Amino acid sequence: MLSVTSKDFLQIPIKEFIISAEKVAHVQLGNNAEHALLVLTKTGYSSIPVLDIKYRLQGLISAQQITDEILGMEHIEYERLPSLKVDEIMKSDVAVIHIEEKFQKGLDLLVNNPYICVIDDEQTFLGILTRRVILKQMKKYLYQSQVQ
């Protein structure tokens, strides 16, 4: 077993692993659904954060949520996209992690989420912690432990 060192590993600050806010594609409250769909399609991400004017996290929006919203009985009502606001469609109840948290907390949250938004005490959006980055770190750690 990897007991003592794995405990240390789980206590590493998540700060070291986040993708910082300036590198994260996002939309703002008040943007329309057409803009959000454009950003989601161009970046290829399944969902992106919605921020307010002060860069505080307000929710997440995905292409699936947008399509669901404009799904009519007969066809997809694309003509509604410009008048729909992201505020009406986004998911507001999202998992977040504080910037001062440790790897273990991140790992727990990433079991059920592909990524987690990282915030500070003022709810300011500082970046994201992704499943991919955490898995990479775990792989590095496990492989290193094997050769010791």
Q: Least distance in Å: CB of 110 to ligand AMP?
A: 9
Sign of the four-CA dihedral 84, 28, 20, 97: negative
- CB-CB contact of 36 with 62 (8 Å): no
By CB under 6 A, name the binding residues for ligand AMP.
Answer: 19, 23-25, 45-48, 114-115, 128, 130-132
Q: Which residue is nearest to ligand AMP (CB)?
A: 132
The whole-angstrom separation of Cα 90 and Cα 123 is 17
User: What is the full DSSP assignment across 72-96?
Assistant: -SSSB-GGGGGG-BHHHHSB----E
Rank residues 24 and 66 by Cβ distance to ligand AMP and give the closer one: 24
- Measured between its terminal Cα atoms, the distance across the chain in Å is 12
Identity of the residue, 19 or 70, whose beta carbon is nearer to ligand AMP in the bound complex: 19
Task: Please give the structure tokens belonging to residue 49.
Answer: 């954060």
Considering beta carbons, is residue 67 or 145 the nearer one to ligand AMP?
67
Neighbours of 144 (CB within 10 A): 11
Beta carbon of residue 19, minimum distance to ligand AMP (angstroms, whole number): 6
Nearer to ligand AMP, 25 or 95 (CB): 25
Question: Least distance to ligand AMP from the beta carbon of 75, Å?
Answer: 27
Q: From the CB of 33, what's the least distance to ligand AMP, in Å?
A: 17
